[in-house]
Each structure stands twice: as structure tokens, then as C-alpha cells.
Copies of this chain bind each other. A is one copy, B any other.
Amino acid sequence: MASRYISIRHLRFLLYEVFDALALRRFPAFEAYDQAAFDMTLDAAQQIGDTYLFPYYREMDRQKAVYQDGEVRVHHSIKTAMQVFGEGGWISATDTLEAGGQQMPLTLFNAALMIFYAANSNTPPHAFLTQGAARLLRSFASEELQSRFVPHMYSGRWQGTMALTEPQAGSSLSDILTTATPHPDGYYLIKGQKIFISGGDHNAVDNVVHLMLARIEGAPPGAKGISLFVVPKYRQEGDTMVFNDVTTAGIYGKMGQKGYVAAHLQIGEHDDCRGWLVGAPHKGLAYMFQMMNEARIGTGLMASATASGAYYAALEYARQRPQGRHPSNKDLSLPQVPIIEHADVRRMLLFQKSIIEGSFALLLQCSLYADLEKHAQGAEQRKAHLLLELLTPVAKSFPSEMSNLAVSAGMQCLGGAGYCDDFPLEQYYRDIRVNSIYEGTTTIHGIDLLGRKVMMENGEAAALFAQEISEAVQQAMPYPALQPLALALGNAAGQLQQATLHLFQLAAKEPAEVFLADATLYLEYFGYVAIAWQWLLMATAAQKALNEGAQHRDFYEGKILTAQYFMEYELPKTQGLHQRLTSDARITTRIQSPHFD
């Protein structure tokens, strides 16, 4: 059942047994999505992964994207994959039938995305960043603008990007300086610099469409004066495509994801870059957040899927590599045992499995909330909306941070071989590291969670989260084997609530610097609880299946053992975090620059 890079069986388990994603058929938009449609989608995704993605993963690291003679050249397989994604309807998949999409539930689509990213974390981002950009146009641009850009993007012939970052404006988007000067013909003249633009220019597509933040002359300072523009590399004039004065100044020498270019763009060097306003002026940042929120889930997804690829490589090695003997039987006349026989190797594999499968679960949980946010109504809709808002920073950051460690554990399973390029672990290790930087560093998400989300709507989101956990605990308690797991989660969640309370008492009497000082650790704490919640859901589904006499008992027992691993080895890490977060010792707000020498 396991492929060489992901367990499709695990995805089916999540979709059908843990989340009952087939129940989405109750919404008219999704009525076509029965289990056959789900299975077919996953099979088709695996086919693409096996054929167009996985075979080129390592090659595109060695034949990396290069900038030469003014052109960015990427691996040839990217062009083919863009066509496959475009012609197969993957880029438009979640859009409506009327718009040429497939009305695919995001829950199913993101499961497919896990397959793509696990097969190759360098190629699919081209297509699905394009999807995000197109959806942004679909949500906020005029029909006329949509018709000029979206079909080309959905077909995979034009690349879409998010063009936010500038040399002086990274985490601080308020400081964007790119200017937009209105022109009587209805467009704006754009001028500025954008850096770190993923997919920002390359030869696998005919055009690049930047969804770009800029300031209209005279706009108010800060976030309230930022507008969103669509700025193509080539613009249509009559029947021809004309260069739109978006120049690639260079590309970045990234440690990993070398197949996926990040470009430095000069916009309007010759005062001839035209951009078209998307939606209303000065609302750009709010619009962009739609794309960013999707991209954040996408980043957590890319991280855990990349870790999945690394895990299956490490697992294969651990099963094949003979080394050493059992501690209680070191008879040298016996052959060496495969290293998967050693407890510490199993621990490292369990760590990886618990992080990857737990993250996949959390990400599909969020995807389900996103589907419900869009299609459900009333209290169900509101609940889904609030939980998605609350969990987005967690689902972005915790998988990104932990997947770095998971791949490191995978590398460690291989010893010296893991550090060398005869095996893929070293590439996974380099590739995966960017996810805790993409779409806002972990710092930013910690502040988002603690500073905004936990108290949004008077704490309603946080209360709903506690309620979800409480329900999970209640559903697990009837199964004796799961009681210790349920109690562990219940305790940790209760402790988290206490720590939250402590922090909000702090917020009432101390400046924001103090309240938010350890927001990153709060996010980590929250992440452990959220993943433990998902593991309890999975363990409960697995126990049900076992009790009902399901086949593939190893599969289900593996879920329960991994849930036990997470509760025994990972969740206790919240204890140290709890102590820190409830301590009144101020260090990071007291220390000053000269103390660091």
C-alpha cells in the first residue's frame, strides 16, 4: 500500500475513517464526490506523482534553476508537469464547474496535494502558487481582468505569483514602497523592487502574472494604504504580447528547493510597467490575506509531505541496512540485524511518522473547516470559520518546524550515508528548511495566534477548540486501550488553558512586548496539543476498525502505537513549555544588545 514517498492508505484512512469527508456530499456543490470519485482522484494524483514528479526530484536539485543571459532556466520536467496539472484540471480543481473547475472539496484536493508534494516539493508549487493567485483574481478582480488572466493560469501556461516582499519590507508589510501611479487609460504605472519572489520568472511558462502589493500615490501610510495589482511580465497589446518592464535582476542561491526559483524583480525600470488594480484601492493587504491563509496551509502541507518523502526513504534504508545485533544477543556468529530492529531507530522512525501523519491529519482537519466555512451555514459555518482562523498559524508553523526535525531524524537513521548525496535525505533536509520561513516566519505566526486568534470574538475560537478536544476525549474513553491517551490529551489541553489564562492576565498589566515575548513557545505548546488531538481521533478510528474486525490489522495497530508514541514521547514536552510560559522571569525583554557579545 505504501508508495515510495507517501502512504495513500493513510490518506484514505483520514478521509474516510477519521474525518468522514464523504459527508461533504450533503452540500450540493460536492454531490458528485462519492468514494469512487475520491479514490479516482487519489489514484490520479499518485499516477502523476509516480510519472511526472518523483522521478525528477533529485535530478532537479543537481540541474538547478539558473539565471543566464537574462533568462531563468528551470528543469525541463517543470514545463511538462505544468501542462499535466493544467490539462488535468488540477489548477482549477476547486473552482466551480461554471468557471471550468471541478468543484472539488478542498479536503480532497489537499490530500492530492500531499501526494504531489511528497513526490517532489520543487515542481508542484509552480502550479499551486498559480492556483492561489488565480483564486485571488477570481475572488476580487473584475470579470474583465479575470478573463484576461485566469484561463491562462488555469491551463498551466502562465505562472502566478505573490509579489509582496521588498528589501525593506519582509515581515513588516506595512513598509511596502512600490508605487502605483494612475494612468488615464485605466491602468497604473508600477515602480519598485520585489525580492524572494517564488516562481517569479522561468522558462517553463509563457508568461508570469504577479499579484503585487503597491501603494497608490497619496495613499495613507501603513497597511491601510496598500493596494493589490495584477502585473504580468508580458502584457497583451492587440494581438501581440509586449514586455511589461518587469525585469529579473537575479535569482537567489537557495540552500534547497533549487528547482523552484526565487527571483529578485525590478519593476518599471523604464517607467513602462503597467498594473491593473484588483478590487478596491487600499484593500490589497486584506485581499492578499485570502491567498496567504491558503498558502499557509499549503506551506504546512508542503513541509509534512516533504518529510513524508524523507520518511519512506529512511524506512526503506532501515529495513535493508544490516548493522549491529540485539543488545541481549551479541553473538558474532549471527548475521547483523536490519537497523529497524534497534529501538532507537524505531524511536526515530516513530517520531517521523507521528509528526507527518499527525500534521497531515491537522491539515486535512483545517481543509475540512475550509470546506465547511464555504458551504455550511449558521453555527456550523461559524464554528468552521473560527476554528480555521485559530488553527491556520498552528497548521502552518508546527508542521514546518517539526518536519525539519523529522527529516533530521530520517537522516540520522542513515548515519554517514544520510549526510551524502548517494541517498536523498540530504536533499530533503535542505529542501524542507525553508517552510518555517515561507509565508511568515514562525515568530509571525506565534504573534498571530497569541496576539489575535486566541482572543478573537471574545475567545470563542479558543472555546470551540477546547470543545473539539473534549469531544475527542469523550469518544475515546469507552475504549480501555485509549483511556491513557485521552487522559493525557485532556490534561495537556487543560494545562494549555491555564497557561493561556496566565498570559492574558499578564496582558492586562504588562506591555505587549512582555505578553507576546514567548508567543513562539505558546504556538509550539498549542501545536503539541493540536497534534495530540488529531492522534486521539486517529487512534479512536483505528480502535473502532480493529474492534469491528477490520483487515490490515498491522495498519491500525500502527496508528495506535504511533498515537501512544506521540502521547508518551512528544506531548510531555508541553510540561517544560508550560513552566516557562507561566514563569514571571523576564529575560528576553530585559536583555540588551551589548549583553550578547
Contacts and interface: CB of A to CB of B under 8 A. Distances in A.
Interface in A325-357: 325-328, 332-333, 336, 338, 340, 342-347, 349-350, 353
A327 to B, nearest CB: 4
Contact of A420 (B254, B520, B592): B254
B441 A433 contact: no
Given A517-B347, A587-B561, A597-B1, A418 B404 contact: no
A414 to B, nearest CB: 9
Interface string A279-320: 000000000000000000000000000000000000100010
A196 interface: yes
A352 to B, nearest CB: 9
A595 B561 contact: yes
Contacts of A569: 521, 580, 587
A253 B411 CA distance: 15
A412 B430 contact: no
B419 A437 contact: yes
B597 A170 contact: no
Interface string A5-32: 0010100000000000000000000000
B426 A255 contact: yes
Contacts of A231: none
B343 A588 contact: yes
Given A433-B429, A511-B328, A561 B591 contact: yes
A343 to B, nearest CB: 4
A159 interface: no
Nearest to A7: B597
A518 B342 CA distance: 11
A587 B564 contact: yes
B588 A346 contact: yes
A336 B252 contact: no
Contact-size category for A:
35 or more
Interface stretch (A37-45, A87-95, A181-189, A550-558): A550-558
Interface stretch (A70-78, A129-137, A570-578): A570-578
A171 interface: yes
Nearest to A569: B580
A343 B484 CA distance: 37
A434 interface: yes
A579 interface: yes
A419 B583 CA distance: 33
A323 interface: yes
B323 A172 contact: yes
Nearest to A573: B576
Instruction: State the oligomeric state as a number of copies.
Output: 2
Contacts of A592: 554
A557 B221 CA distance: 40
B594 A172 contact: no
Nearest to A427: B255
Contacts of A558: 591, 594-597
Contacts of A512: 326-328
A543 interface: no
Contact of A572 (B343, B420, B580): B580
Given A517-B343, A587-B568, A433 B420 contact: no
A231 B446 CA distance: 56
A98 interface: no
Contact of A347 (B252, B344, B588): B588
A455 interface: no
A438 to B, nearest CB: 8
Contacts of A170: 323, 415-416
Nearest to A352: B596
B579 A576 contact: no
12 contacts: A168-B322, A172-B325, A195-B416, A262-B416, A327-B516, A344-B517, A344-B519, A346-B588, A347-B518, A558-B596, A561-B595, A573-B576
Interface of A: 1-2, 7, 9, 165, 168, 170-172, 174-175, 195-196, 221-222, 252-256, 262, 315, 319, 322-328, 332-333, 336, 338, 340, 342-347, 349-350, 353, 404, 408, 411-412, 415-416, 418-422, 426, 429-430, 433-434, 436-437, 441-443, 446-447, 451, 484, 511-513, 516-521, 554-555, 557-558, 561-562, 564-565, 568-569, 572-577, 579-580, 583, 585, 587-597
Given A347-B588, A404-B408, A521-B569, 4 more contacts: A172-B323, A319-B593, A569-B587, A575-B575
